[in-house]
Structure formats: C-alpha cells, structure tokens
A and B are shown apart, each in its own frame.
Chain A
C-alpha cells in the first residue's frame, strides 16, 4: 500500500453541527494531522454537492483514504462508501467520524469543549484511516432450490410459496402423511373451518405442483455447507436421498404435552386433553352433560414458565362447539388469565359467553381439585371473588396443555448449527430485527417450531420465511460480509480456542501439511471479532477492526 493520503470532509449539517462545533477551526486542525493532504468543509456532505466534493477531492489530491466527519455511519456510511467507489477508491478505505450525534447535539451548551472533542475524534479517525486496508467482497453462487423441513400447513405454505416463485423445493415430513399437528384438530378458531378440509386444500396443491418433491416418513440426516450451497442427506422410507439446496426453511412445529399424573390424567377415564377431545368430537362421541376445562395445565408454572398462547382459544373454541352441538350441556373453563388477543378472538370469547360457556379464574396457589372415585365426579375450585371453594359437577374433565419444543429440536439444532432458546424452541437471529431468520445465513424459521402459533400466524410466518429464503435464490449469489476474520496460518498454533468461541461455528481446525490450523469460512463468518480478541498467538486479523487500528485510535486520543 502506498503512503496514506487522507482527505477529511467536515460537514456543517446546516446548522446542526456548525452551530455548536467550530467547523473552520476543525478543518484547519485536520490539515495538520499526519497523512492528511486535504481538508475541507461542506454545508451538507451528503448532498449532491458534498458527494461531488468527495469524488473531486479523491481525483484532485490523489486521495487513497477518505474521512467524513458528520453524522452516524448507521445511516450515511453506505452513501459515502458509494461515493468513494464511484471515484475508484475501495469503499473500505473510508472512515466515518460522528461529530453530530456525539458532539454538537449532545454538548450544545459547551461549544468549545464540543469542538475539542470533535478534534479528538477526527484525530482518532485519521489514526485509524492511516491503517485501513482495501477489502474485497466475494460472491458465492446460490443453488436455486430450497429444503423445507416439516410438512404441516406452515411447511406446506412455505413450500408452495417458494415453488410458485419457480424454485425446486424438497419438502420433508417425518410422518407418513402431510398435515402435521392439525391432523388431530377438529375445527379451527376463529372461523370454525374443519382442519381436515384445510389440510386437503394444501395437500392437493402440493401434490400437483411440479416443482415440489415430497419425502414422507423421512428425516434429514445430515446437512453440510453454507448459504447457497447446502448438501442435504435424507433417510427415509424410500431409501436415502441426497441433494443440494441454496436455502432451508425449518417448519417442524411443536410437540404436545401429555399431562400424565395431573388431575387424574392417565388414571381416570374421563380426563382427556383438548386434542383428545377434538378426536372425540370429530367422531361424534358423547361427552356428557357437564364438561369442565382446566387451562394452563403444565404451562406458566415454575418448571415451564411460558404461555403457549394458543390454548386459551382452543379451549374456548371447543367449549363453543360443545354448546353448539348440545345447547343443554354445561361447560366451565377454569383459567388463570385469558389470552384472547385481537378483535376476532375477543369477539369469539364474547360469543362463547353468550352461548353460556362459564369462565372461572383460579390461581396457581390454589389449583382446582378432582373429586371422585375411579372417575372424576366433581371439580372443587376456589372462587376468588366469592372467597370460598365451589364444586362443579363434572362428566368430562378436559385439560388444556401447552405446546412444547419438538423432541427432534436438539438434533436439528446441532445439524444446522442454529440455536435453541431456554425452552428448547428454535431461536431466531433477533426478535425484532431478523424475526424469521436464523443467525446462520440461509436458514429460516416459521410456525410453532419457533414458538406456539395458531394457523393464521403460522401461515403469515411461512410467507415471511419463504420470501426471506427466496431472496438469495432469486439473486443467484450472496456477498458475505467483507469485514470478517482472517487467519494468519504462519502464526496459528492450532490451539483451537477460536473454534470453541465462534458463535456461528464458522471456524474449524483443519489439517494443513502435517498439522492443524484454524480455518474461517468466509461465507459463514459475521465479523464479530470474538475470536480475534481471544487468540493467544495474535494469528487472527479482524478485518477493518484490527488490533492495530483499535490501538491506533487509543494512542491518538492520548498523544
């Protein structure tokens, strides 16, 4: 690299900066810093005029580093980087100093000290800029196909959506037929549509779609590779299969909790779960005159603190359906709180109350008790408002249980290198910023595999996941982060600390000659630098945030 020739562009930001920071003084100061060959000020560096000034400066002064002192890189870095690129300068030779959010706006009452701080920040920025190095972004080809794991309605929706966009889809279901959890459900809230009809609708489309290949009674055995290029191995009824996909959607759903040992479940014949109730209703079996439902069985307890969200509505739906088919029946729902969010659900609950479904609140401290010999005869529950125990006649006790994390989640999480949360559900990269994506690029999540969802939510998520998964497929390539870790193999001692630390499992010790050295997959690496901060040999260079660059900033501040 040639001797650094740095150009400094200080922005007035109208009056936003210039009213509090002495911009002309700052420009003069910048001119005196090492390797700064040009400094100027612009009314708005981000304006057409400012951008041309940067481009002109690069040409006129033969700049090989550009520093802009203005606002935040979080909004304006792409713009200034693009200006550098337009002028033929690698965009990583650009450095940003924030003198608006960090100086003028927050030290308005101390303009002199704000100016001094701005000088310090510019000096630190120049110190880093001197050490910047150009980085190249690589392109990785993406195979135009996807794997969808899980053939419930959510998985099927994701598969259909992707297939309709023209990609080859491999849909894998571990059961002998498609449909997932909904296969045991009677009707769906809040429309009371029959679940089997909905499943049929999906299955028909799946079956006739030429782009979808379905694998029943099959499990994903092994996945290797990274975004754009995952190699998948299946184990299934029809033997093993192997294929290559660009992206993966996980829609494996959740398991149902069997409340064995609670409220006589498993011992007393008239104690069943909501899903078992739905099976009976489907077959039209009699349920008795008095039905009591207990919500939150096995949920929101110290061992399982979460709310499964969909069970309240399930109970209300089933209670309403009982009342619809037999208005004389008496149905009580014993609950702790009611999760009936949104307009439709609230309406649905009011309708149930109008139909005669009765709601009684109980607390975790005094749960309902079963009275009866061999079978449930009555349910005793402490009525909080009356302040006393009441007894309800009971011919059928229905327990409302939460969805729990799928039993395969552990295996899948290891295989795909994706995270699970504390309850064993899959965990997306970021709750708000990247909701249906895993931290591992190219793998997406939807439906109850992430968290208990109802059908409508699950399908919305399927659309979201499918559109995310389609992005790289449509583009045909991905450009991994250029700000990533790089191993100096001559220094690497092969101790393996980095491999243990990497949150993305992007680092692996690999044989090199007759030893093992760390290898960073530049496609998988996200550039967090956790490895470089721990390397005992100083063998890991964290591009764009190298040790030397960070230390130069510290050094410059105190020089």
Chain B
C-alpha cells in the first residue's frame, strides 16, 4: 500500500508567507509536495469557517500563515488571525481533533527556509497521525429527502390554509420585514412550485417561534412545515445565509461525522459533584463550544452549565455528564440538514440508552425541545423523563427548601420560544425567580405565549430585521424599569448582547440592559 500522503491547505498572506514560499522557490529549497497554498491578502481575512470547512472537506492539516506581529501590511490583521485560529483550535480540540491539524505560524518574506521547514515538520507530524477521518465521512451529497411537497402538505395540514394571513399579522419577522409572509410561503408549496418554495431566501428567515400557531384558525403547523421545506431546499443546495459564516453549522457537521472522542468536559472542576452511577443525566449541550466563539460578546456560556450543576448539587443531585454527548441537532434540523440531525440523534439516543439514564435535565430550551418533540418524530425513542431545569427545581421546591440569599433587583423575564410556545413552559421559570427574596419580577408588555423573539434562530439569516427585533424587545424590557433581563436560552443571550455590542468609543450601543441567564441568577443567590 502506498504511504499515506497528507494533504495540507495553507492560507498564506500575500505580503509575507506567500512571498516566503516564492523565496523557497527561487532558492530551490525542496520540501514535500503535500501543500496547496490559497493566497489571501491578509491572514486576518481567513475566517473560522474557512478552516473548519477545509477540515470537513478532508484536509489532513490546515496552516494559517502571515506576517510576524508588527510587520502586518494591514497593521493588525495578523493579530486578528491569531485570535481566530486560537478560537478555532479551542473548538477543534474540544471535538477531539488533534491539535497538530490546525496551525498558525508567522513566516516573513525572507524566511523561505522556515516556510519549507514548517511544511516538512507538518507533513511529518501528520504522517504520524494518519489520514483525517473526515476524508472518508465527507458528506458527498444530501440524500433525497424522504418527503416531497405533497407529503409536507399532508403532514402539516398546510392544505387547510385559508389564506387568511393571520399568521403574517402576528409573525415577528413580517412585522419588520414586509417582504416576509408565512402565508405566501405556504401558497407556493400548495401550488406545487417546488423551485420557488425552496429558493425563497425568506424561507430561512422564519424563526420557528410558533407565534403564527397562536392565530391560525385551521391549526397549520407552519414551523414544522418550514422545517420540512428547508430539508427540500437543503437537498437543492439552498441554505439561506448562515450566521457567523456558517462556522457553527460546520462544527456541528464535523461533530456528527467525527469518530474522535470529544474533550468537552475540560471546564469541569471538583467544585461540581457529578456521578457516573447516576441515572439522572444533565445534558450539557453546546455551551462548551459556544464559549470560545462568543467570547467577543463578553459572554461565558459555561456560566449557565456551571450554575445548573450548582443548583442540582444544592438539591442533592449529582447528575451524570456524558463525555461523548453530541449536539442535539436542533440547528441542523432547522436548517434542513436532516442527515446531520439524524446522525446526531442516533448517537445521542444510543449513548444515553447505554448509560441507563432514566431522566434528562436540560438547561437549554432547544436541546429540550429537540429531544422531546423531534427525536420521537424521527424515530429516535428514549425511555426517559425529560425536564427543563426550571421544572425540575420548581418541582422540588415543594419538598425541599432552596436556601436563597436576598437579591434586591427588579428583573424581567424573556420567554425563549422553544421553552414557551414550543413546550408550554411559562410558570416554572417565574416560580424560580420569585423564590429569590427581594426579586421583583416585572412582566414585559408581550409576555408568555405572546413573548417576542431574540431575532435569529438556528444561526441563519441574521440581518437588519433580526437586529430590529432585538432592539424592539430590549426596549420593551427597558420599559418595565427592570435592571436585568433574565432568560434561559443561551442564544437569546448571545443575540441580545450582540444588539448591545459597543459601537466604538463615543457612540455607545443603541440600548443597554444587563442580560443574564436564569440558572446563573438562581445559582448566584444560593447560600
């Protein structure tokens, strides 16, 4: 058998590293022919998704190379590249991908020898590691979706649509974006216009928030309908506009196909008590992965995880954490990538079954919804009780006393759509909040089933309307006089914080209010 020859993609900045490769050429410095250079103007141009997609495509190694600090043709682009590669490395290392596969190196114009040596070293290291497992598991083409337009109409009863437009009248997206209309999306499908339906960019703007279902006189399940049509669109290579460059979706796909053992519990310290013998599972979800990605918003998503564990421990529960739990698949499913979703669901249900779990506690509303509603629908059945942490704690409050310190603040509560309208959980988070002495809960004008959205779902189609939705919601929160906006979805936090991202020294954000996770608030109040 021929020796394994690694394939390496080098993102080389035009001014330093690309020139260094030229110098290696003019000096006839020989190095192994395993690299393919992609020229970029600056290493700061290399986005996280470029690296992750290279890995997904089957690259055995990726090198981002630019000018030495201080030498950047664009002042500081290389330092941005460094931050990004470090972020990506944190994520890929968590996925279990060997750290040698993603590298950053400063190579100056004069350093042709260093360029050649870097390649030699990388080739040698990668030969030791062997081929990337993603070469084989690469998704070649989407399977033909199980359903066609007619099936979708049947399943979601969309043919009952009366074209009354009540859905459009309540749709939070349509409120800001007049070109978006749930009714016309249904109409296209009902008329059998497959091309129009799947190509409609607005198809990916739907938040799946279920506000429309409040109004529909004929009980059309529009979000489920959208979910299905998106799968058709995905098959036709239509994806909407993925937020954050599609990096998060790419990470999900890598995870779904990865044979590696994840290193997702690196944050877990002795401070938290967990047990391998428990039959209660705490589903950690994406928090460890979100953490490095959203650092720039000064958000630590692992705070939610740690707070949840603290609360569970306080109630005497030492849950099991699964080191090989994977993403629940929510975003894959809602962007039409059913294949990835099914891989993830299959994996999760299998490892959970094998671990003998009787009850799963979620802090993330999306994970909860996906396990509860989507897994069974796609045939992934679990014989477990599923609960949101607020339900679990509220349930315990009758029998066990939560020892909570006084916290004298006026707060308001954001019902995440997945927890509220999807699963009907409105009371337990409020019960928890009100259990904290001193807390005054002020409701926003639109609350419970009428709550407004954080503006983006499944990290897709984040645009000006998303921002307007956020600002609108934040204004409502502000109007209550609350100091803190409490929510229990990490994505709500991400999106609200983004809307308040500082806009330079003088200008400041459009609006400002502290945003906090419910579990974190409760955990901080524990004695």
Contact B464 A490, beta carbon cutoff 8 Å:
yes
| B33 & A495 in contact (Cβ 8 Å cutoff) | no
Contacts of A497 in B (CB 8 A): 296, 501
Distance between Cα atoms of A501 and B83 in the complex (Å): 12
What is the number of residues of chain B that contact chain A, defined by CB distance less than 8 Å?
67
Given the complex, which residues of B lie within 8 Å of A429, measured CB to CB? 73, 75
Docked complex Cα distance between A74 and B25 (Å):
13
- Distance (Å) between the CB of A449 and the closest chain B CB? 18
Q: Is A199 an interface residue (CB 8 A)?
A: no
A545–B77 Cα distance when bound, in Å, is 15
Task: Contacts A116-B33, A533-B245 given; indicate if A555 touches B57 (C-beta within 8 A).
Answer: yes
Tell me, rounded to whole Å, the shortest Cβ–Cβ distance linking A48 to chain B. 24
Residue from the list A110, A532, A555 in contact with B45, Cβ < 8 A: A532
Contact A106 B243 (CB under 8 A): no
CB of B173 within 8 Å of the partner chain: no
Give per-residue flags for A465-508: 1 if the beta carbon is below 8 A from chain B beta carbons, else 0: 00000000000000000010000011111111101110110000
Query: A545–B41 contact, CB under 8 A?
Result: yes
Question: Is B47 at the interface (CB under 8 A from chain A)?
Answer: yes
A101 to B466, CA, bound (A): 47
The interface bits of chain B over 81-119 (1 if a CB of A lies within 8 angstroms of the residue's CB, else 0) are 000100000000000000000000000000000001000
- Residues of chain B contacted by A524 (CB below 8 angstroms): none
B116, A550: Cβ atoms closer than 8 Å: no
Instruction: From known contacts A515-B468, A528-B44, A545-B41, infer whether A554 and B498 are also in contact, taking CB-CB under 8 Å.
Output: no
Q: How far is the CA of A496 from the CA of B508 in the complex (A)?
A: 10
* A 517-540 to B, binary, CB cutoff 8 A, 1 in contact else 0: 100000000111110111111110
| Any A CB within 8 A of the CB of B241 | yes
Contact B26 A105 (CB under 8 A): yes
Max chain A CB contacts within 10 Å: which of B38, B138, B468?
B38
Within B470-515, the residues touching A (CB, 8 Å) are: 498-499, 501-504, 507, 510
Residues of A within 8 A of B188 (CB): none
B463 x A490 contact (CB < 8 A) = yes
Q: Is B19 an interface residue (CB 8 A)?
A: yes
* Cβ–Cβ contact B504 & A500, under 8 A: yes
Query: For the complex, is A542 an interface residue (Cβ under 8 Å from B)?
Result: yes
Q: Is A147 part of the binding interface, using a Cβ–Cβ cutoff of 8 Å?
A: no
Q: Tell me if B39 counts as interface (CB < 8 A to partner A).
A: yes
Residue of A nearest to B504 (CB): A499
* Shortest distance from the beta carbon of A346 to any chain B beta carbon, whole Å: 29
The interface residues of chain A lying within 8 Å CB-to-CB of B468 are 515
- Mask, B22-59, CB within 8 Å of A = 1, is 10111011111100111111101111111001100111
Binds B, one of A81-89, A117-125, A222-230, A451-459: A117-125
In contact, B467 and A494 (Cβ under 8 angstroms): yes
The reply on A240 being an interface residue by CB < 8 A is no
**CB atoms of A106 and B463 under 8 A apart:** no
Interface residue B18 (Cβ < 8 Å from any Cβ of A): yes
Interface residue? B160 (CB, 8 A): no
Chain A residue at minimal CB-CB distance from B25: A101
**Are A106 and B24 in contact (CB-based, < 8 A)?**
yes
Interface contact B245-A124, CB-CB below 8 Å = no
In the complex, what residues of A have CB within 8 A of residue B49's CB?
Answer: 547
* Interface: B76 (CB within 8 A): yes
Asked if B33 contacts A529 (CB within 8 A), the reply is no
- Residues on B with C-beta less than 8 A from A517 are 464
Task: Please judge, given known A-B contacts A515-B464, A557-B7, whether A106 and B36 are in contact too, CB under 8 Å.
Answer: no
* Nearest Cβ on chain A to B114's Cβ, whole angstroms: 14
If A439-B75, A533-B47, A538-B242 touch, whether A106 touches B29 (CB-CB below 8 Å) is yes
Q: Which residue of B lies closest to A419 (CB)?
A: B75
- Find out whether the CB atom of A533 lies under 8 angstroms from the CB atom of B296: no
Complex A-B: 14 CB contacts under 8 Å: A74-B19, A98-B21, A121-B36, A489-B464, A493-B462, A496-B503, A497-B296, A503-B76, A515-B464, A529-B42, A530-B42, A534-B47, A534-B80, A537-B462
